[in-house]
Structure 1
Amino acid sequence: MLLRMPGVYRPQGDTRLLCAAFHDANLPPGGTVLDIGTGTGAVALTAARAGAASVTAVDIARRAVVTARANAWLSGLNVEVRQGDALTIAAGRRFDIVLANPPYVPSVVDVDARGPARAWEGGCDGRAVLDRLCAAARDLLTPGGTLLMVHSALCGTEESLIALRGLGLKAAVVSRAREPFGPVMRGRADALVRAGLLEPGDIDEELVVIRADRAITDH
């Protein structure tokens, strides 16, 4: 059972999908892990339990950082939890596995992307953070390293694959699942239909986990 302060993103379908993909990724012995958008720390703790030599978990929200640190302490696991922009904090470092559950809900309605909403508001097309992450992926990975990133297919699965492959990474969808709409998606379903991102009557969305690998020989 994880602690969760009010306003911190609750682990749900995308979290479970990302954790399952991580278990399939075969963390190398002594591997280093970066968890982007850690929330409660659920994914970071999964990596630590799997034997990662070091886990760095980052979230922009102070409450998420407090929550993740508390959960790491209660679990007796060594996870470094930092607050801020993950790509700024990780600049100049490389990791064997990068795990990312970035905000990806398209902001097709007038919303205030502050507070808890920062966990899901992904900009007008849902790709504001996704595009930054794709662009930085190669530099975050050690040679032979792996990025595992979860997002909604509404944001453009092919766009992510093209961006990652354009950096010389081997990229593919390794997992898919249908997830019923939560309160946020239900509240803007009509706007998403008008934007052409949903069909009338849709009640769920497809989540994907994209895996991108940097070649061992890529130095």
Structure 2
Amino acid sequence: MNPLAPPGVYAPQEDTDLLTGALSEEPLTPGARVLDVGTGSGVLALEAARRGTHVTAVDVSWRAVCAARANARLAGLPLRIRQGNLFAPVRGQRFDLILSNPPYVPTPDGGARPSGAARAWDAGGDGRLVLDRICREAPALLRPGGVLLMVHSALSGPDRTLGHLHSAGLMAAVTRRRRIAFGPVLRERAGWLRERGLLASTDDKEELVIVRAEVPV
């Protein structure tokens, strides 16, 4: 099924595909509790639900919430979908797996809060506006043995992500990488990224990474 992704809702792209592949390798048991934070059209949440898990999907965008609900109905799969800012709707709950494809693109006007469709990719001057919050807040929502799977760009500092997660007591590593051609947003920002030293003058591709972090049992 091609998911519905109306204007203003992040349509599945190569980062979604990379995270879907990582999800397919996780040994989820039926009934496992899964959280997809920043669900967008709900594609990742639906992939998890197909494996018999109990999935909660969260997005700050009402358009995304409506799209995810429509896609769940079309797929005939149960999803618990909530509107809210990151983990706010699930405070006090615990999960076996947290999935996230958050905003991670460094943004020239890093001091301005993104709005509209740009909330799906704009992430402050260093690309970590949301990543750092996930690193801080996700560990408390994971059960012993629980796993965080997150995708982001190498431009946004995977080493910093790993450092934060290690400091929180998780075992963390980059488990997948993929180089992809620049999309429209990076093409438009390539000059600025080169000025900041985030891109070499010859770079015409972006590297995506999957970070996997696990709570020790």
Query: Normalised by the size of structure 1, how large is the TM-score?
Result: 0.95
- Residue 201 of structure 1 and its aligned partner are, at CA, apart by 3.0
Structure 2 CA distance, aligned partners of 1:109 and 1:139? 31
Structure 1 CA distance, aligned partners of 2:25 and 2:182? 26
2:98 corresponds to which residue? 98
Query: Percentage identity across aligned positions?
Result: 53
2:152 corresponds to which residue? 151
Q: Deviations over 1:175-202 (max 9, x none)?
A: 1101111111101100000111111132
What RMSD over aligned residues (CA atoms) do the two structures have, in Å?
A: 1.2
2:82 corresponds to which residue? 82
Q: Which runs of 5+ in 1 are unaligned?
A: none
1:130 corresponds to which residue? 131
Contact 1:149–1:210 (CA under 8 A) maintained in structure 2: yes
Question: Are 2:209 and 1:208 aligned?
Answer: yes
Amino acid corresponding to residue 82 of structure 1 in structure 2: R
1:56 corresponds to which residue? 56
- Residue 28 of structure 1 and its aligned partner are, at CA, apart by 2.5
Q: Secondary structure at the match of 1:163?
A: helix
Amino acid corresponding to residue 86 of structure 1 in structure 2: L
Structure 1 CA distance, aligned partners of 2:204 and 2:64? 29
Shift in CA distance, 112/168, structure 1 to aligned 2, threshold 3 Å: closer
Query: Normalised by the size of structure 2, how large is the TM-score?
Result: 0.96
Structure 2 CA distance, aligned partners of 1:193 and 1:90? 39
Question: Are 2:37 and 1:47 aligned?
Answer: no
Contact 1:109–1:191 (CA under 8 A) maintained in structure 2: no
Q: Secondary structure at the match of 2:192?
A: helix
Moved more, 193-202 or 67-76: 193-202
Question: Are 2:179 and 1:172 aligned?
Answer: no
- Residue 26 of structure 1 and its aligned partner are, at CA, apart by 1.0
Moved more, 165-174 or 108-117: 108-117
Structure 1 CA distance, aligned partners of 2:30 and 2:80? 19
Moved more, 160-169 or 107-116: 107-116
2:187 corresponds to which residue? 186
- Residue 81 of structure 1 and its aligned partner are, at CA, apart by 1.2
Contact 1:108–1:125 (CA under 8 A) maintained in structure 2: no
Structure 2 CA distance, aligned partners of 1:56 and 1:120? 22
Q: Deviations over 1:101-146 (max 9, x none)?
A: 1100001247771000000011110001000000112101011100
Structure 1 CA distance, aligned partners of 2:18 and 2:64? 20
Contact 2:34–2:98 (CA under 8 A) maintained in structure 1: yes
Q: Secondary structure at the match of 1:211?
A: strand
Structure 1 CA distance, aligned partners of 2:157 and 2:183? 20
Moved more, 92-101 or 105-114: 105-114
Moved more, 66-75 or 105-114: 105-114
- Residue 87 of structure 1 and its aligned partner are, at CA, apart by 1.5
